[in-house]
Amino acid sequence: MSHDHHHPYSDPADLGRAREVGALAPEEFAAWRAFQQAVDRGDGALPRRIRELLSIAVALTTQCSYCLDVHTAQARRHGVTERELAEVVFVAAAVRAGGSLAHGLQAMKLYQAHGAAAAAP
């Protein structure tokens, strides 16, 4: 079995399979599409370009290459600059690193609690 080493599991063409999967779960797919359309609206308090920058930050955090593909295209279409995109990359990286530190603090507390529990008679 041969694998494409450039895209072993993800391929931009896979986005076209969403309709196939949706046809197997039509109610859920319709609800997801309605939710996505509400989120992509242009008449909310957040302008579309900000929504796209947020989408990119989340996609960087969830590591979704498909989301990065779709939302960087939309961001560009809605006037996001390369400099803004670069800054979002570092904001997302810093917040993600902060999350690791925050969970690390919990891990330290849990480690100490497990030690206290083990020492209890």
What mean pLDDT is predicted for residues 61-65? 93
pLDDT band with cut points at 50, 70 and 90 for residue 110: very high
CA 22, 27, 30, 32 dihedral sign is: negative
Structure tokens at 38: 């509400």
Please tell me the total count of domains within the chain: 1
pLDDT band with cut points at 50, 70 and 90 for residue 43: very high
Q: How many CB atoms lie within 10 A of CB 71?
A: 23
Q: Specify the DSSP class assigned to residue 46.
A: S
Position 78 in a domain: yes
* Distance from the first to the final alpha carbon of the chain: 58
Position 14 in a domain: no
Q: Specify the DSSP class assigned to residue 40.
A: T
pTM score > 0.85 for this model? no
Position 95 in a domain: yes
Position 76 in a domain: yes
Type of residue numbered 87: E
CATH number where 95 lies: 1.20.1290.10
Q: Which pLDDT does position 5 carry in this prediction?
A: 54
Range of the domain at 81: 44-119
Spatial CB neighbours of 4, under 8 Å, sequence gap ≥ 6: 11
Average pLDDT, the chain: 91
Position 26 in a domain: no
